[in-house]
Structures are given as C-alpha cells and as structure tokens.
C-alpha cells in the first residue's frame, strides 16, 4: 500500500490531495478552511483533512510531492538574470524565500506536531504537474497534454504526449512570454485589480466589439510552431525588480503588469471605481479574441505534432471556459478533458500522480479517472443537527421553520417546487467540490426560466457585477435538446451555445451572446442533484436549474456552520442541509 500526499504550497490556491495506490482519496483547497479567497501558504488544514479522510497519519505517508522544482530551467533562469538587469538583491531575496519554502519536512513538523513523516519528498516541475493533473485522471489512454498559465518554474506553456503511464514535457514557452500575463494585464487595465479577476473579463467580453484586436496583435505575436512572444515594451513583469507577485498573510497579490506604453494603443486605463464604458467592453472582447487566436494557434500546432483525437488541458488559463467551448470548432481535436481544478490547486493532484507513476508498484498501477469533483469534506447528520442547534435562536428570530425530510424524492420535489416558485435555495449536500466551481453540493439554486432571477440573486445574495452570467446545470440526457453539443461537461469548464429556440425559455442562464457555461449532471456522479433537477423538469418541463456557488464574496462554504451563516446574513429563502429543510 502506497500513499502519496500532493501539495500546492506557498502559492495562491494552496491545496492538498491524497492518492492511495493510484486512486484519489481526498482533495481540497486551503481557502475553504481559512475563509480567504485564493489563500496561499502551507496547506496544513488541507493536509489534516486528507489524512483524516483516509484514517491515517503522516507516518503512513510514503511520499510527499510538491508542484514546483527550483532546479527546473536553471540555465534559462541564469541567462535571464545575467542579461535582464534584474538586481542581485532581488534574486537573492527570491532564492532565500524559495529555500525556506521548499524545506517541506520542516514545514510538516512545524504545522503537524506530533506526526512524524519518514518518507521521501519529491519536487515536481510545475508544468509537468499541470499536465499530469489532466492526463493521469482523464478517461484517455493516449492524449496530447497542454498547460497554459501565468508562470511556473520559469515556463508559461508546456506540452507533451500522455500515453499509458508515460508523460513528459516536450516543449513550451518560457519567461518572459506568457498568455496568462497578457490576459491578467488586460484585466488590470480594464479596472479589475484583484487576483483571479480574469473571469470578469471573460464575462464582460460578449458585451463589446473586437475593435482593439489589431492593436493587441502588435504586442502578442504568433509563431507558426504554436509559440508566441509578447512585445515587452507594453508589460512590466520582466523589467527592473522583476514581477511583484507575492503572498502576504495568505493573500496573493501582484503589481501592475502593463506598462506606461499601453495607453498609447488602447487609451487610458479604467479606474476601478469608474463606470464601465463601451471602450472597456471592447477591450475585454478584443482581449478574449486575442487570447483565443493565440490559444488555438498553439493547440493546432500541438495537434500537428501528435495527431491525437484527444487533448487534456490544465493551468490557470484552462479556466477560460469560453475558449474551451470552441476547441472542436477551431482545432482538429475531437475529445477534450479538463479536470475540475485546472489551476494551481490542481497541481497538487498532478504532483501526486506524477510521483505515483514514477514510484508506484507496477502491478498495482491502474488508470484512475476523475469523473466527479466531490473530494472534499462532508458533514454527518449529527454534525448538521449540532450546527442547527447552535443557531436555533437566530433561526427563531428570522422566523424560520425547520423540518426533517427523510424521503429523498420528497425532499427533491419540495425543493424543486420552491425553485419553481421563484425562491432562492441554498443547497448543501455530500462532499465539497474540488476546484472553484460549485457543482451541486455547495450551490445556490434558482429558476432559469425567470428573466429577473439574475437581479434577484444579486439583490439577495451575490451583489456582483450585472454582466456576470449564472450557469445552467442540466440533466446529462437532455443536453443535445437544449445545447449545440452533446458532450459531457461535468465540471462547468466549457461554454456552448444554447439552441436558439430554447434561449427564451431559460433567460436567467443565457448569456448575451446566446451561450451558457454548461454543467452536465449524471445520475451516477451525483444522484441527489440529478433527482432534484429531474423533479424540476417534471414540474416545469425544463431539465435545468440555475446554479451558482454557495457563498457571498468569500470562498465557497465548506461546513454547515458557514452555510448557516450565509443563509442568515443574506435574503436566501430556503436552506437545505442534507435532509433538513429550513425555510424563512
């Protein structure tokens, strides 16, 4: 029996996972425990959870795998330091910080006192981890693998061919050229300054026109082999003291990436407090178009190299679900897989599986497939009941009724009726989702038929930008009748067009361009959520519910206590905690 603990540590979206004999046991991001979005640091609480879920201690762990390797690209790094003008002090500071962070055994002793780790620590190159996080949990025995992000171990893009238990990085794009940096710079320029705000640009883009594509082509230059180069006159990350990314008190942040030359091409940058104008929408659309042109140039070149029908994707840019939905349209690939945590958190899984396939027992090796995302903590009925008792006075003050509904069909039917009545539902079930998307276990649900449901959700709970869309969760068997695809999209990682004749039936989940960020729900992967949507279909004829994450400007709720807090401080109408139905 071999246990491998995988970590994304000291970077945004710190996370841990546990693999036992090539099978995933548990995986969770640290932010869910720390309650700070994108929390970065040592994922001690995630490690505790993974060990507890398996019923083991650190002494039982054979290998710890971390998704970074300071030795990677060492000659490229040295060449850059010698030629770029970066100060010696800055380099020394970075090296000291890396040395402290990579002493994993010391960190384990510090954060988990009383538990002794006697195994081996493996440093795994960042982009190999991304590729492994996609291929080694995909349904394919052979596939091209591509990773695209900001930077990791001095690379921003990597590709290779996965076949059986073999996978290696065979090429890439290196610092200072990065598609992730380009998109983040445009995000900042439009006035979205926080770490992880790129999804706002993706949501805003359909409202604009691609009037700035020619300007962007001048500083994102494509090559025939799939690579690209940035014109560094328009970016700051490669100059002076280098990139300003840091994690302070667990909160990741970065300095401004665009240079003073950029306004000469795009006009003045938007102040975050200023009103969005058509020009900002046009820049967002142009950034998305430029991203897609670069991304598909890369994927097409990768297909020429390997000729496979299947591709797997990872890296932070794998969250660009709009581009992902166009892969079949704009490349020769016929199959695609993107696991639910494609970004840096997912590197924990990649590190663990890459290590397992390196050190595991040959006879025990098998191809694990991640076909669902439910790998985090759950709450027992006893824990749910205790959390409710602790807040009974608050429930009474809010005029809530609390009932146990033991029959699952009755619970789903009653919840579906509330959704059909226009109520907003907090839905807390089973194990927490792995990755940023709520996929039916920590979700807020609404009626997709109501054109005003977006406004209702923003008024009662979310309080977010009006242009940001909400997602449709649809029964797997109904996909082809409602969308211009019949693909499995269990992790909400692809956007597809909703059939034109259906758009008016589900306005709350139809974006301005007629698309929706699809989540397919199968009975096998999540039977209770499937039954709920089925009950809503039986009532309304629509096999879809609106799904958004169970949170209010915070990480997705993890424990019942957090779900109750969110319910009571917002104007949510119903909270379903396991078999407990709570209504105002």
Q: What angle do CA 534, 451, 501 make, to 5 degrees?
A: 70
Query: If you average pLDDT over residues 130-155, what whole number do you get?
Result: 96
Cα–Cα distance, 504 to 30 (Å, whole number): 40
Query: If you average pLDDT over residues 121-148, what whole number do you get?
Result: 97
- Tokens representing 433 are 């989702």
**pLDDT, tens digit, 9 for 90 and up, residues 365-422:** 668 999 999 999 999 999 999 999 999 999 999 999 999 999 999 999 999 999 999 9
Q: Does domain 148-247+255-337 have CATH number 3.40.50.1860?
A: no
CB atoms closer than 10 angstroms to residue 532: 29
Spell out the CATH class of 381-583. Answer: alpha beta
**pLDDT, tens digit, 9 for 90 and up, residues 48-61:** 999 999 999 999 99
Cα–Cα distance, 507 to 452 (Å, whole number): 9
Query: If you average pLDDT over residues 62-88, what whole number do you get?
Result: 76
Asked if pLDDT for residue 94 goes beyond 60, the answer is: no
Asked if pLDDT for residue 292 goes beyond 70, the answer is: yes
Query: If you average pLDDT over residues 200-216, what whole number do you get?
Result: 97
Q: What is the pLDDT of residue 464?
A: 76
**pLDDT, tens digit, 9 for 90 and up, residues 253-270:** 778 999 999 999 999 999
**pLDDT, tens digit, 9 for 90 and up, residues 31-42:** 999 999 999 999
CB 132 within 8 A of CB 348: no
Using CA atoms, how far residue 544 sits from 5, 455, 515, 541, in Å, is 37, 19, 14, 9
**196 backbone dihedrals φ, ψ, rounded to 5°:** 90, 10
Give the list of residues 6+ apart from residue 460 with CB closer than 8 angstroms, or none: 424, 570, 571, 572
DSSP string, 105-129: HHHHHHHSTT----SEEEE--HHHH
Query: If you average pLDDT over residues 467-480, what whole number do you get?
Result: 95
Asked if pLDDT for residue 475 goes beyond 80, the answer is: yes
CB 532 within 8 A of CB 405: no
3-state secondary structure at position 152: strand
Q: What is the pLDDT of residue 90?
A: 52
Strands 471-475 and 515-521: parallel
Query: If you average pLDDT over residues 352-375, what whole number do you get?
Result: 87
Task: Choose the weakest-confidence range: 103-107, 407-411, 446-450.
Answer: 103-107
Asked if pLDDT for residue 126 goes beyond 90, the answer is: yes
For the chain, what percent of residues have pLDDT higher than 70?
Answer: 93
Query: If you average pLDDT over residues 117-125, what whole number do you get?
Result: 96
Mean pLDDT taken over the chain: 93
pLDDT tier for residue 29 given thresholds of 50, 70 and 90: very high
Asked if pLDDT for residue 248 goes beyond 90, the answer is: no
CB 227 within 8 A of CB 298: yes
CB 473 within 8 A of CB 490: no
Q: What is the pLDDT of residue 100?
A: 55
Sign, CA torsion 65/70/75/79:
positive
Q: What is the pLDDT of residue 85?
A: 57
DSSP conformational letter for 268: S
**229 backbone dihedrals φ, ψ, rounded to 5°:** -135, 145
Please classify residue 83 by burial: count the beta carbons closer than 10 Å to its beta carbon, then call 0-12 exposed, 13-18 middle and 19+ buried: exposed
Asked if pLDDT for residue 87 goes beyond 70, the answer is: no
Q: What is the pLDDT of residue 241?
A: 53
Asked if pLDDT for residue 468 goes beyond 60, the answer is: yes
More confident residue, 91 or 529: 529
Q: What is the pLDDT of residue 93?
A: 52
Q: What is the pLDDT of residue 362?
A: 61
The secondary structure element, H or E, covering residue 345 is none
Task: Choose the weakest-confidence range: 119-128, 236-245, 330-339, 405-414.
Answer: 236-245
Q: What is the pLDDT of residue 97?
A: 54
CB 529 within 8 A of CB 441: yes
Asked if pLDDT for residue 101 goes beyond 80, the answer is: no
Model's pTM, two decimal places? 0.95
Task: Choose the weakest-confidence range: 111-115, 410-414, 437-441.
Answer: 111-115
Q: What is the pLDDT of residue 379?
A: 98
The secondary structure element, H or E, covering residue 265 is helix 263-266
Closest CA to 517 of 469, 579, 570, 576: 469
pLDDT tier for residue 467 given thresholds of 50, 70 and 90: confident
Query: If you average pLDDT over residues 448-455, what whole number do you get?
Result: 94
Largest CA distance in the chain: 69
CATH number for the domain formed by residue range(s) 3-136+344-364: 3.30.420.40
Query: If you average pLDDT over residues 191-217, what whole number do you get?
Result: 96
Task: Choose the weakest-confidence range: 87-101, 338-352, 504-518.
Answer: 87-101
DSSP conformational letter for 502: G
What sections of 276-407 are H helices per DSSP? 278-306, 321-324, 327-330, 347-359, 381-390, 392-397
Domain boundaries, the chain: 3-136+344-364, 148-247+255-337, 381-583
CB 488 within 8 A of CB 476: yes
Domain 3-136+344-364 matches domain 381-583 at the CATH topology level:
no
CB 428 within 8 A of CB 560: yes
CB 517 within 8 A of CB 211: no
Q: What is the pLDDT of residue 150?
A: 93
Query: If you average pLDDT over residues 237-264, what whole number do you get?
Result: 80
């Amino acid at each position: 029996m071999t246990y491998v603990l995988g970590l994304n540590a000291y970077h945004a979206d710190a996370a841990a996972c546990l693999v036992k004999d090539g099978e995933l046991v548990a995986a969770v991001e640290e932010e869910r425990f720390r309650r700070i979005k994108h929390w970065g640091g040592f994922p001690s609480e995630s490690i505790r959870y993974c060990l507890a879920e398996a019923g083991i201690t650190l002494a039982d762990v054979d290998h710890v795998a971390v998704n970074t390797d300071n030795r990677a690209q060492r000659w490229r790094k040295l060449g850059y330091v010698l030629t770029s003008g970066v100060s010696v002090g800055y380099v020394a500071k970075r090296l000291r910080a890396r040395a402290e962070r990579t002493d994993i055994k010391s960190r384990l002793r510090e954060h988990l006192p009383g538990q002794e780790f006697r195994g081996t620590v493996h440093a795994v190159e960042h982009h190999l981890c991304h590729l492994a996080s996609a291929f080694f949990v995909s349904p394919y025995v052979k596939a091209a693998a591509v990773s695209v992000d900001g930077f990791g171990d001095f690379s921003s893009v990597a590709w290779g061919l996965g076949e059986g238990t073999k996978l290696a990085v065979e090429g890439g794009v290196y610092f200072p050229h990065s598609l992730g940096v380009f998109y983040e710079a445009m995000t900042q320029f439009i006035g979205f300054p926080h770490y992880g705000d790129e999804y706002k640009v993706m949501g805003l883009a359909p409202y604009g026109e691609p009037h700035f594509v020619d300007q962007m082509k001048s500083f994102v230059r494509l090559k025939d082999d799939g690579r690209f180069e940035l014109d560094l006159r328009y970016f700051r990350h490669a100059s002076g003291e280098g990139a300003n990314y840091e994690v302070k008190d667990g909160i990741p942040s970065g300095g401004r990436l665009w240079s003073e030359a950029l306004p000469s091409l795009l006009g003045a940058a938007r102040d975050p407090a200023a009103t969005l104008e058509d020009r900002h929408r046009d820049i967002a659309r142009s950034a998305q178009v430029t991203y897609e042109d670069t991304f598909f140039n890369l994927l097409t070149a990768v297909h020429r190299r390997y000729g496979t029908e299947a591709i797997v994707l990872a890296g932070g840019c794998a969250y660009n679900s709009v581009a992902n939905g166009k892969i079949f349209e704009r490349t020769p690939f016929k199959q695609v897989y993107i696991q639910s945590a494609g970004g840096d958190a997912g590197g924990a899984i990649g590190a663990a599986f890459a290590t397992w396939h390196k050190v595991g027992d040959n006879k025990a090796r098998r191809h694990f497939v991640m076909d669902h995302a439910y790998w985090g903590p759950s709450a027992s009925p006893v824990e749910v009941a205790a959390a409710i008792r602790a807040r009974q006075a608050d429930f009474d003050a809010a005029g809530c009724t609390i009932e146990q509904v033991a029959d699952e069909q009755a619970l789903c039917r009653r919840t579906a009726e509330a959704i059909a009545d226009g109520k907003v539902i907090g839905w807390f079930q089973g194990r927490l989702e792995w990755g940023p998307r709520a996929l039916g276990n920590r979700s807020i649900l609404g009626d997709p038929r109501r054109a005003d449901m977006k406004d209702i959700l923003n008024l009662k709970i979310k309080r977010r930008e009006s242009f940001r869309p909400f997602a449709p969760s649809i029964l797997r068997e109904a996909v082809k009748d409602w969308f211009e695809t019949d693909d499995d999209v269990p992790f909400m990682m692809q956007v597809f067009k909703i059939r034109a004749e259906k758009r008016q039936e589900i306005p709350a989940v139809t974006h301005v361009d007629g698309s929706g960020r699809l989540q397919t729900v199968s009975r096998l992967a999540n039977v209770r959520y499937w039954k709920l949507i089925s009950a809503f279909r039986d009532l309304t004829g629509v096999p879809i519910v609106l799904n958004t994450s169970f949170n209010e400007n915070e990480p997705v709720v993890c424990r019942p206590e957090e779900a109750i807090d969110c319910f009571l401080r917002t104007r949510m109408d119903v909270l379903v905690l396991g078999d407990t139905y709570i209504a105002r």
